[in-house]
Amino acid sequence: MTKDYSRSLELLCPTCAGVSFEFDNDVDEAVRTYQCKGCGGSFDHEHIMQANSSRVEAEIEAIGEEVLGDAVKKLRKAFAGNKFIKIK
């Protein structure tokens, strides 16, 4: 069975750090405007992603570490008992 490494990350409002936004689903994401329900600020997708880039990068790094750890565990298990191959 393959482990699912997908995650969902709530993006924060650049102004008030709120997580609730209103937007029109009928408009393409590239030109869509998001309005924060908390402060009423309007932002485009690029601005929200840029403001949350450090959170996204931290989550990507955490997933990478988890994948690496799981890969090492699988390799150790696969080669357990083999006296010629050692995994540190």
- Dump pLDDT digits (tens) for 5-37: 999 999 999 999 999 999 988 888 888 999 999
Give the domain ranges of the chain: 21-78
Q: Are 10 and 20 in contact (CB under 8 A)?
A: no
Look up residue 75 and give its two tokens.
């390799």
Between 82 and 60, the more confident residue is 60
Q: Are 34 and 43 in contact (CB under 8 A)?
A: yes
Distance CA 45, CA 35 (A): 11
Residue 1, pLDDT > 70, answer: no
Residue 37 burial (CB count, 10 A): 13
pTM (two decimals): 0.73
